[in-house]
Amino acid sequence: MSYRLLLALALALAWTAPALAQDDRPFTAADIEAAQYGLSDLPPGRSALTAKVQILLDRSGTSPGVIDGFKGGMSQSAIKAFERRAALPVDGVLDPHVWNLLQAYAERPVTQSYSITEADAQGLVASIPTDYAEKAQMEAMAYTSVAERLGERFHMDEKFIQFLNPGTALVPGATIQVMAPNEPLRGQVTRIIIDKDNRRVAGYDARGQMVVDYPATIGSSATPSPEGTHNVRSVAINPNYTYNPEVNFKQGDNDRKLVIPPGPNGPVGTVWIGLTKPTYGIHGTPTPSQLFSNQSMGCVRLTNWDAEELAKMVSIGGTTVEFLQPGVTIADVTGSGAATATPVAPIALPEGTATPEVPVTEQPLALPEQAGAAIPVAPADPAASAQPAPETPAPDAGTPDAAAPDTGAPDAAAPEFPTADAAPAEGQVDPLSDALTGALPEGFVVPPLEDAQQ
């Protein structure tokens, strides 16, 4: 009996090993550049095509989270959001329509060479302790490796950097291949919609047009996120974190107030966007690859780079934040993604067809200072900055590990903010709209977003 069991296990491993090897076989930056759609969904495992789709989604403002080349939940949710934006059937499957529309963001190579500098290797720490008292003794919640720093800069999983550069030590002077994201988007977000079921956070402008859409950790079953509609009350870039066991949770034996220094590996990452709902906010995270596996105590976590981008587009007192009830999606409240069938004719871009030019977006929205503490401008590498960061009153703790649940900011007196409906910037052009105009066959009409979503 044991012999048959061992034989069965051996046969199972023999059958599985080639499949695993095929799903995660090595590929290069050149393979990503050359990857083309093959008339089927993304292949299983890790592939050059998935990495290419991820960077194009990232450039479109429909974030896949970390770029790692793997077909997974965050990438599928990003494709759904992209389909919703384009009023295509929302199924999360790569098809000819999605692929052709993504080409609006392929105006330049999707990978690039990068030479590691001395500055990239400076200001690192050996590790980040779990205990908050130990964290409070550190000078900064800095990066722990060159790979981690470059991963955030190029929106990549740090292991994917090693994957694309096998045998290359990540030391100053080394030249490596990395992804090529665009500069952060600029615009004005007047409405944020938080979709708990799909774990997405979408930002809309005053015209009801989607500007950005991000994957997120949104509460948990034990400690769900809030309900209803609130306003943005404050924004802090590169904040420190105030631990107060009398207001928040109690971690281990720490029974006194502690101030944890700022940095990308801090409990709230590099950004805190506080809400008029006391103790709640939207913030970064030290573990961007775990957005869909982590849980929070009710706040909303984004990757640090997505949170930084969003922070520059919100308006204090002029951006509403709407938490949808379970079972209600962004598509339900915006009327987008209502298509039930694909266009009447297949989309095909003829060989040699020029892709639409991506326009230069508007300048970042200046956030008013009178509604809260001064908002500092963070350097490109927050952990390397010598400037002191503002102390933020105990925002959501971000949970960098399972032993440290996150909490929100303590209750503070906040003025009532009216809902703002700012006018859109003139001359702003959406490259996806251009792509839809140039790529969809004649006779296919993209339904506009409903006025009610403003």
Name the band, by pLDDT with cuts 50, 70 and 90, for residue 294: low
Whether 230 is catalytic? no
* Whole-number pLDDT of residue 222: 63
Residues 298 and 165 reside in one and the same domain: no
- Per the rule left: phi > 0, alpha: psi between -120 and 50, beta: everything else, 389 is beta
Confidence of residue 338 (pLDDT cuts 50, 70, 90): low
Q: Give me the pLDDT at residue 30, please.
A: 98
Give the mean pLDDT of 204-214. Answer: 97
Does any domain span residue 3?
no
Q: Which residue of the set 97, 155, 230, 283 is catalytic?
A: 283
DSSP β-bridge partners for residue 194: 201, 323
Q: Is 86 contained in some domain? A: yes
* CATH classification at residue 56: 1.10.101.10
Give 105's pLDDT tier (boundaries 50, 70, 90): very high
- Report whether pLDDT(389) > 60: no
- DSSP H helical segments within 44-72, as ranges? 48-60
Q: Are 157 and 66 in contact (CB under 8 A)?
A: yes
Q: Which amino acid would we find at residue 367? A: L
Q: Which residues have a Cβ under 8 Å from the Cβ of 254 and sit 6 or more positions away? A: 131, 132, 133, 243, 245
Q: Is residue 15 part of a domain?
A: no
Residues 38 and 125 in one domain: no
Domain boundary among 51, 77, 105: 105
| 362 φ/ψ sector (left φ>0, alpha ψ -120 to 50, else beta) | beta
pLDDT value at residue 283: 95
| Per annotation, catalytic residue among 97, 155, 230, 299 | 299
pLDDT > 60? residue 356: no
CATH of the domain at 246: 2.40.440.10
Euclidean distance between CA atoms 128 and 77, whole angstroms: 31
pLDDT at 454 (0 to 100)? 37
Confidence of residue 122 (pLDDT cuts 50, 70, 90): very high
pLDDT at 244: 86
Q: Same domain for 87 and 139? A: no
| Claim to verify: residue 249 and residue 288 sit in the same structural domain | yes
Instruction: Let me know whether 319 and 285 are in one domain.
Output: yes
Q: Is residue 409 part of a domain?
A: no
Lowest-pLDDT choice from 126-130, 211-215, 217-221, 322-326: 217-221
Residue 314 placed within a domain: yes
pLDDT band at 340 (very low <50, low <70, confident <90, very high): very low
Q: What is the pLDDT of residue 243?
A: 87
Range of the domain at 42: 23-105
> Do 314 and 227 share a structural domain?
yes
Q: Is the pLDDT of residue 441 over 80?
A: no
Q: Do 195 and 172 reside in the same domain of the chain?
A: no
69 in a structural domain: yes
Angle between helices 48-60 and 73-85 (to 10 degrees): 50
The residue with greater pLDDT, 418 or 234, is: 234
Same-domain status, 227 and 291: yes
Q: How confident is the model at residue 246 (pLDDT cuts 50, 70, 90)?
A: confident
Q: Examine the residue annotation and report whether 299 is marked as an active-site residue of this protein.
A: yes
Out of 70-74, 218-222, 229-233, 252-256, give the one with best mean pLDDT: 229-233
Mark which of 105, 124, 146 sits at the end of a domain.
Answer: 105
Same domain, yes or no: 65 and 168: no
H helix or E strand, kind and range, residue 5? helix 2-23
Highest mean pLDDT among 28-37, 297-306, 341-350 belongs to 28-37
Clarify whether residues 30 and 76 are in a common domain.
Answer: yes
**Per mean pLDDT, which range of 134-138, 139-143, 175-179, 251-255 is the poorest?**
251-255
Nearest in space to 63 (alpha carbons), one of 332, 303, 314: 303
pLDDT at 282 over 50: yes
Whether residue 212 lies inside any domain: the answer is: yes
Q: Is 119 left (phi over 0), alpha (psi -120 to 50) or beta?
A: alpha
Query: Residue 332 belongs to what H/E stretch?
Result: helix 330-334
Residue 231: what residue type?
N
Per-chain mean pLDDT for the chain: 77
Same domain, 255 and 373: yes
* pLDDT value, residue 24: 73
Q: Specify the number of domains making up the chain.
A: 3
Q: Are residues 93 and 116 in the same domain?
A: no
392 assigned to some structural domain: no
Domain boundary residue, one of 61, 79, 105: 105
